[in-house]
Chain A
Amino acid sequence: DSGVTQTPKHLITATGQRVTLRCSPRSGDLSVYWYQQSLDQGLQFLIQYYNGEERAKGNILERFSAQQFPDLHSELNLSSLELGDSALYFCASSPPGQGLAGELFFGEGSRLTVL
């Protein structure tokens, strides 16, 4: 158990809908990262938050947004869903003070299926 909690574990929805994925980082970790894992794209970095502030952005679509709240949990919002958004979405956190060196602790992922 990594200590990172993601909900829901599975989600099935229809095209055009909006969903919210939730992540609670490990106790004490200030950074939260979101990744998308699909069969054809591998693990794609979406976005990083540190203590409530957005710090780094990857190939995140405009239809996707994220935020980190004062209690450090994070939410990833996916809207106007398309079939191609079906994927496993991982949240990860890293220990404070380690910067680049910080290993990522991953949650179990949220599997999104768009029908």
Chain B
Amino acid sequence: AQKVTQAQTEISVVEKEDVTLDCVYETRDTTYYLFWYKQPPSGELVFLIRRNSFDEQNEISGRYSWNFQKSTSSFNFTITASQVVDSAVYFCALSEAHTGGFKTIFGAGTRLFVKA
């Protein structure tokens, strides 16, 4: 069954610390996509990154980096030198085909507090 687990409910760090958000997924499909979304206090979910199941290259975008490891079914997200503006809820998500359409399932989210 399709499942996304974000074991960390809340993380609190001090500004400039590095922080890693964990994501573990389960799927029977060989073709799928993984995503990270950010939900700031304003509430609207914003797309951050996508990865397909055949591309295990890690990616870096500014202070953000993502580590995809198929062997451990993990897709972890690291924020380097965190800033107060990074405070948000971060969701990991898995998209796979489902009866003629597509289903994107979200993890429970990790709430990140970055203190000044």
Contacts and interface: CB of A to CB of B under 8 A. Distances in A.
Interface of A: 2, 31, 33, 35, 42-43, 45, 48, 50, 54-58, 88, 90, 92, 99-109
A54 B101 CA distance: 8
Given A90-B45, A106-B45, A101 B103 contact: no
Contacts of A45: 103-106
A49 to B, nearest CB: 8
Interface stretch (B18-26, B31-39, B56-64, B70-78): B31-39
A31 B104 CA distance: 13
23 contacts: A2-B46, A42-B108, A43-B106, A45-B106, A48-B101, A50-B101, A55-B99, A56-B99, A56-B100, A56-B102, A56-B103, A58-B103, A100-B32, A100-B52, A100-B95, A101-B50, A103-B50, A104-B37, A106-B37, A106-B45, A107-B44, A108-B44, A109-B44
Interface of B: 31-33, 35, 37, 43-47, 50, 52, 91, 95-109
Contact of A109 (B43, B47, B50, B52): B43
A99 B102 contact: yes
- Would you list the 5 A-B pairs with minimal beta carbon distance, nearest first? A55-B101, A56-B101, A43-B106, A103-B47, A106-B45
- Secondary structure of the B contact surface, majority rule: strand
A35 B43 CA distance: 14
A104 B45 contact: yes
A2 B44 contact: yes
Contacts of A35: 106
A33 B104 contact: yes
Contact of B33 (A42, A57, A101): A101
Contacts of B105: 45
